[in-house]
Structure 1
Amino acid sequence: MQNITIVYITIAAFTALLLALFQYLYKSKLKSNLKYLLTALRVISIFGILLLIINPKFESYIYFDEKPTLVLAVDNSESVSYLKQADNAKQMVNALLDNSDLNDRFNIETYSFGKSLSSLDSLNFNERQSNLALALKQFGEVYANQIAPIVVVSDGNQTYGSDYSYVSKSIKQPVYPVILGDSTVYSDLSIKQLNVNRYVYLKNKFPVEVIANYSGTESITTELKIWSGNSVVYRKQLQLNASKTSEIISTALLANSVGVKTYRVELVPLESEKNKINNSKNFGVEVIDQKTNIALVYDRMHPDLGALKKAIESNEQRSVELIKPKDYLTQVNDFQLAILYQPNNTFNLVLKEIQTQKINTFIISGETTNWNILNESQDYFKQKITNQTENYQPSLNRNYGTFIVENLDFNSFPPLKSEFGTLQISVPFETLLYKSVNGITTEDALLATFEADGTKHAILNGEDIWKWRAQSFLNTNSFNNFDEFINKLVQYLSSNKKRKRINIDYKSFYNGIDDVIISAQYFNKNFEFDNSASLSIILKNKNDESIREVPLLLNNGNYTVDLSGINSGLYDFTIKHNSESVATSGSFQILEYNVEQQFLNADITKLKALAYNSDGEAYFTNQSQLLIEHLLKDKRYATIQKSTKNIVPLIDWKYLLGIIVLSLFAEWFIRKYNGLI
């Protein structure tokens, strides 16, 4: 309490006393001792009211002890059970959790991790991938301002994400790896990496690159074979030893029929080899008979051109040719789609030819677009010409139903420069992206698609789309999401298939470690997206003829089903409406591959590097007591005494109001009872 407040309280006390004495003692006709009681009551009432006006504040301190946190993270991936370390992992966890001294010293928080991090409920070691780097990164964010050493119980075999031994440098907490496995080195052959394109073209040869690894001390001879069904299509003798531990094998195979073709790469195992699963690996290619050729017609150089070409050609089924308007007229029949970038006066004949031959188009406008020519060349849309530009950010229309669109976090994308004014489309159309200004979404289309006269068209009313591709990379460390978005738009525009009431999005084949997610959209009879439909997928395994039915769930505007974890093989599926006779079908193949079964030993080197880089220490599972003693004796993990300061104003003290009311009532009652009122 401040000194000035004490002065005010003293003045208030004297004031209350003087007023009460003046009323009941100075020239008072009241002779009995009752006047002293009334004076005291009046002093209490006036002093209480003055205290409420002054409202002094009182400070109080609450002291408490804060124990450091001990983070316990357990590897729940299949490699732990495959290396026969599941029991050791559980015993280590129980040893830490059941130690009373450790519980007295730390607040123990438990997690399990595979591809993602989750709270530890139970350990079943069935995660198909492991990402220790992601778990460490999240621990670094959550416990950045705490004392929280991290105990990681793992074999160190990471199958997904960045190198965790370097991630440890960015977190402030010491990490104590508990190694699930031993340091024994076995002779082992393995296929370290396999590089092959996903799509190939009929009658063309496609490259295959295999990296074969050997761990051991003896010189060995083995053979690498590539199988197609029951036939060997390639073989090569390999000689490896302690100094030559790997070899890169490159070859080219012929694609002689259309469809999904599967192959198996195999290293003939050694007689003494312990793990033979990592000696073989399946891969697949999709053979297509033609490539979609796309003309990117331009008259002005711009970074958008390179971004569009890169995005579209990320799909090997498509090729993009940058071409001037006059050259396009002589090659118009060579392309299945024309992308017109900022049409101007030089596009006059191109626009007429497109109108005559009914060619699908994707028009991208911008600062140098000649809207007079565009407006006059067709009757589908008209742009109000203001000769002024404005920057517009994209806002995704979640009810867009022409094709399935994943959310690219469009809100984080930079604005595009566009003509100021309304774009009026006179034919039925769907808006994919709305224009947004200062966070307010307008009804004007930034990107829209429509169909007219048997042709398909899209218009993007803005330039600088290259910035979107760059921002997508900053958001996800990959161009894939943006490239897939552009390719879905291009796929729609370059196809003349009729629209269906159920659209589906899936891949023709999945590797064994891929997430198998199938998405669908359902439309009513007016082709309006229906978010209340009941859809299910009937999945048939062609290998064993087993059938299962799974419902689809609405997620971010799409109906999706996650089939990850199903067995490898060929599958036919049908997605149907449960109360209407509307359905669509497809098929896919899952290649057999379990990445968690490719390891023979724990990765002791990386786990020790993780401990060293974070000022921790590595232990084996039979050293649980040493780990506990180290954690208990380390002075970095001391209990900290903290205090909480509470400032309570007197006006919040309800009893004071009760005292004032009680004293006023008592004074009134006494005076009334004695006839003084």
Structure 2
Amino acid sequence: MQTQTILLIIAAFIIAMVIALFQYWYKAKNRQKKNLFFAFLRFLSVFSLLVLLINPTFKKNTYYTEKPTLVVAIDNSASIKHLKQEQEVSQLVQQLEEHKDLNNRFNIRYYTFSSELNDSLNFSFLEKQTNISKTLEDLNQIYKNTIAPTLLLTDGNQTYGKDYQYTSKKYKQAVYPVVIGDTTTVVDTKIQQLNVNRYAYLKNKFPVEVILTYSGNQEVKSKFEIKSGNGVLYSQDISFSEENNSTIINFSLPANNAGVQKYTAQLIPLANEKNRINNRKVFAVEVIDQKTNVLIVSDISHPDLGAFKKSIESNERRDLTIKRPSEIQALEDYQLVVLYQPNARFKNLYDKLKASKKNYFTITGAKTDWGFINRIQNKYRQEITGQSEYYIPKFNSNYGSFLFDDIGFQNYPPLVGAFGEIKVNVNFDTLLFRTISNIETQEPLLITIEENGVREGVLFGEGIWRWRAQNYLNTQGFESFDDFFGKIVQYLASSKRKSRLNTTSESFYYGNANIKIKAEYFTKNYEFDRRGNLRITIKNTDSEATQTIPMILKNNSYEVDLSNLSTGNYEYTVTAIGENIARSGSFAVLEYNVEQQFLNADVTKLKQVATNTNGKISYLDQQDDLMNSLIQDQRYQVIQKSKENVVSLIDWKYLLAIVILLLAIEWFARKYNGLI
């Protein structure tokens, strides 16, 4: 309590004493003993009221114990079921839940993981992918400021993601891997990896790379084949030994027919092989008969041009050429022309575009000749000020020309464009708005225009190479940005008319991938309609089985997850209920379950994880030793903590009740003695 507060309380004591004595002793005509009683009551009530006005504060310490957290992360992938260990895992979890000493020592938190980390104990052992690295990263974020040793129940087989034995070096908690599955090495040959491009071009050959591996100590022979239907397209005899336990095969296959072509790669199993599933892989290639050719015309050198080239050519179905305006002869070979910061030297190119009715994409910036652009076309005009400005993008979720997702534009660096008002004289759709000095505006930064059968996109700013770099910093990859720019190129390069219902799907999916089909639905004014009622009908063309599923509104599109579909060929039709509108498509689901490619637990990597984190590896038959070592580990102690609370006297409601009681007693006593 502060000195000032103590002095105020002393002053309140004196004032209350003076008031009580003044009223009941000094002013009293007859000084009787009962006057002292009345003075005492008045002193207490006045003093209490004054103390309430002073409102002193007191510190109150409360003590409590805090147990360390024990994190139990259970592998919920299909490999556990494939190794026939699901019952053993369930029994171990049950023992953890029922172990009294362990529960008294720790607050136990249970998680399951596969491709994602889930805060639940719902086992299915049917998940198609495993990402142990991401699981460790997520747990590291959750428990970065606490003591939380981690029990990792897994076979150690990861299907995608970063190598978790290196990720574990950054993990701040001790990891205790519990090995699930057989650790005995048996004879096995398998297709370790098959690399092939997703697309190929008609009448060309596409490369295939196959990595074959062998575990065993004897010399064996086998045969590798590639089949399409019943025909063998490629075969090669393979020999393995204990020293020569892997081989890489490179070859090319012809692309003679357009469309999705399915192939089966098979390494003939040995007679005594236990797991034959990993000897066979089905893959597909989409053979296309033409390429989207994009032409960029620029009179200056700029980093944006390199970013455009990398982004556009990240899709093998597109090719990019960069030329100067003086080098342009004809445009027939290009489906899209990109005009980068046009000036007067682009006049002939504008004439060719107008004559050929070719779609084009205009990108402006600090070096754009807006006087020339304002003269050469009348779709939009820029106020000429001779100054530049920085524009931060803001995504328009109501953009309706094609299906699009926000990739985090608000965190992207600003583009540099001309300062001044932009006036668009035709119907247009805004994909990105301008944000200037943290003030959101309705002025366009990126728009698309469709007029008289010609599509044009306009980006009012340069420096988009910084967006691609920022995308890498945010996601450790360029996929989001390349997909964003690829959709713009796809829309502008297409000559299809605008439709009220559009669907997006891949031509084929692997069995371990998420199968999602998206749709966009618009009103008659081509504004995105969130009130739509869309249904998708899926038909398996092999079995003729059909099912109808409602599509769910998600952000600015409708979506359905079909990841539970079995392998086969499918046709689908998306219908807008209440409207005579439907769109159809097809896709194939290829046979492939990566979780069934494993025969043993990966003990080597799990041992390394335990070493990296100062933990300890154990096996299913050592669970008692594991629990006892955790209980006895001096690093994990129950900690007594204190919490200091500052309490104000005014919060003590009983003091007010005491004041009221004192005043009431004084009043009744005076009334009884005839003093009132």
Scaled by the length of structure 1, what TM-score is found? 0.98
1:6-63 deviation line (CA, Å, top 9, x unaligned): 3432332122112211222124214443322221122112211221232221121111
1:245-287 superposed Cα distances (whole Å, 9 cap, x missing partner): 1111011111111111111111011001111110111111111
Query: Per the alignment, in what secondary structure is the counterpart of residue 386 of structure 1?
Result: coil
Residue identity matched to 1:244: N
Residue matched to 2:643: 644
In structure 2, runs of 5+ residues without a counterpart are none
What letter is aligned with 2:116? S
Does structure 2 retain, via aligned residues, the 8 Å contact 1:171–1:614? yes
Q: Which residue of 1 aligns with 2:134?
A: 134
In structure 1, the partner of 2:478 is: 479
- C-alpha displacement at 1:661, in angstroms? 3.3
Q: Which amino acid aligns with 1:317?
A: R
Contact 2:223–2:238, Cα closer than 8 Å, also in 1: yes
Residue 615 of structure 2 corresponds to 616
C-alpha spacing 1:674/1:421, structure 2 compared with 1 (3 Å): farther
Question: Residue 97 of structure 1 aligns with which residue?
Answer: 97
SS at structure 2 position matched to 1:173: coil
- What corresponds to 1:244 in structure 2? 244
1:205-354 equivalent positions in 2, closer than 5 A: 205-328=205-328, 330-354=329-353
Instruction: Say if 2:528 and 2:556, in contact at 8 Å, map to a contact too.
Output: no
Contact residue 221 and residue 239 of structure 1 kept, 8 A: yes
Conserved 8 A contact 2:25-2:31: no
Deviation at 1:658, TM superposition (A): 2.6
Report deviation, 1:333: 2.1
Displacement of 1:674 in angstroms is 5.2
Distance in 1 (CA, whole Å) between partners of 2:675 and 2:372 is: 101
Q: CA shift at 1:409, angstroms?
A: 1.1
Q: Where in structure 2 are the equivalents of 1:246-645 lying within 5 Å? A: 246-328=246-328, 330-645=329-644
- Structure 1 residue 121 displacement after superposition: 2.8
SS in 2 for 1:637: coil
Matched with 2:14 is 14
Aligned-partner residue type, residue 368 of structure 2: T
Q: For 1:333, what is the secondary structure of its paired residue?
A: coil
Instruction: Please name the residue that 1:200 is paired with.
Output: 200
Paired amino acid for 2:592: Y
Residue deviations 1:588-643, cap 9 Å, x none? 11111000000010000011111111100001101110101101110011100011
Aligned equivalent of 1:66: 66
8 A Cα contact 1:392 1:435, kept in partner? yes
3-state SS of 2:140 partner: helix
Instruction: Give TM-score scaled by structure 2 length.
Output: 0.98
Partners of 1:187 and 1:214 within 8 A in 2: yes
> For 1:394 and 1:519, how far apart are their aligned partners in 2?
25
Q: CA deviation at 1:517?
A: 0.8
Looking at structure 2, the residues matched to 520 and 401 of structure 1 have their Cα atoms a distance apart, in angstroms, of 12
Structure 1 position 669, deviation (Å): 5.0
Note if contact 2:74-2:153 (Cα within 8 Å) is conserved in structure 1: yes
RMSD of Structure 2 on Structure 1 (CA) = 1.4
Does the 8 Å contact 1:95/1:624 carry over to 2?
Answer: no
On the 8 A contact 1:366/1:418 being kept in 2, the answer is yes
Secondary structure at 2:332's aligned position in 1? helix
Q: Is the 8 A contact 2:83 2:182 kept in 1?
A: no
Superposed displacement of residue 403, structure 1: 0.6
Name the CA distance, whole Å, in 2 between partners of 1:91 and 1:667. 73
Q: SS in structure 1 opposite 2:339? A: strand
CA-to-partner distance for each residue in 1:196-224, whole Å, 9 max, x for gaps?
Answer: 11111110111111111111111111111
Q: What displacement does 1:525 show?
A: 2.1
The equivalences for 1:61-210 within 5 A come to 61-210=61-210
- The offset of 1:356, in angstroms, is 2.6
1:24–1:30 CA contact under 8 A, matched in 2? no
Q: Residue by residue, what CA displacement relative to the aligned partner does 1:57-87 show, whole Å, maximum 9, x if unpaired? A: 1121111111111111111100011011111
Q: Does structure 1 retain, via aligned residues, the 8 Å contact 2:24–2:39?
A: yes
**1:91-131 C-alpha deviation (Å, 9 max, x unpaired):** 21122221111111111111111110112332120111111
Q: Quick one: distance in 2 between partners of 1:441 and 1:27? A: 75
Deviates more, 1:645-654 or 1:198-207: 645-654
Question: 1:27 & 1:306 partners in 2: Cα distance?
Answer: 100
Amino acid at match of 1:590: V
- Stretches of structure 1 lacking an aligned partner (at least 5 in a row): none
Decide which moves more: 262-271 or 429-438. 429-438
SS at match of 2:482: helix
**What's the offset of the Cα at 1:488?**
0.8
Contact preservation (8 Å) 1:352, 1:377: no
Contact 1:395-1:435 at 8 Å conserved across structures: yes
Give deviations 1:487-533, integer Å, cap 9, x for gaps.
11111111111111111111111122221111100112222211011
Percent identity over the alignment is: 47
Quote the Cα distance in structure 1 between the aligned partners of 2:384 and 2:41. Answer: 84
Q: CA deviation at 1:89?
A: 1.1
Q: Give the drift of 1:341.
A: 0.6
Give the 3-state SS of the residue equivalent to 1:486 in structure 2: helix
Question: In the alignment, is the contact (CA less than 8 A) between 2:68 and 2:638 conserved in 1?
Answer: yes
Aligned counterparts of 1:652 and 1:146: Cα–Cα separation in 2: 34
Q: Which amino acid aligns with 1:650?
A: L
The structure 1 segments of at least 4 consecutive aligned residues displaced by more than 4 Å after TM superposition are 668-677
For the residue of structure 1 that corresponds to 2:635, the secondary structure is helix
Secondary structure of 1:108's counterpart equals strand
CA distance in 2, matches of 1:350, 1:653: 84
Which amino acid in structure 1 is aligned with residue 500 of structure 2?
R
Amino acid at match of 1:148: A
Q: Secondary structure in 1 aligned to 2:262?
A: strand
| Alpha-carbon distance in structure 1 between the residues aligned to 2:31 and 2:292 | 115
Aligned equivalents of 1:385, 1:539: Cα separation in 2: 55
Map of 2:45 onto structure 1? 45
Q: Secondary structure at the match of 2:616?
A: coil
Q: Distance in 2 between matches of 1:207 and 1:181?
A: 37
CA contact (8 A) 2:381 2:424 kept: yes
CA distance in 2, matches of 1:225, 1:439: 61
2 CA distance for matches of 1:423 and 1:27?
A: 88
- Alpha-carbon separation, structure 1, partners of 2:118 and 2:648: 44
Q: Report the number of matched residues.
A: 676
Rounded to whole Å, the distance in 1 between the matches of 2:5 and 2:31 is 38
Which amino acid in 1 is paired with 2:487? K
SS in 1 for 2:473: helix
Q: Hey, what's the Cα distance between the residues in 2 that align with 1:153 and 1:173? A: 15
Tell me the alpha carbon deviations over residues 402-439 of structure 1, each in whole angstroms, 9 at most, x when there is no partner: 11002201111111111122222111111011111244
CA contact (8 A) 2:208 2:250 kept: yes
Instruction: List per-residue Cα deviations over 1:172-204 (Å, max 9, x = no partner).
Output: 111001101232111111111111111111101
How far did 1:319 drift? Answer: 0.5
- Inter-partner Cα distance in structure 2 for 1:657 and 1:27: 28
| Distance (Å, rounded) in 2 between the aligned partners of 1:574 and 1:185 | 49
Q: Report the secondary structure of 1:135's partner residue.
A: helix
CA contact (8 A) 1:212 1:246 kept: yes
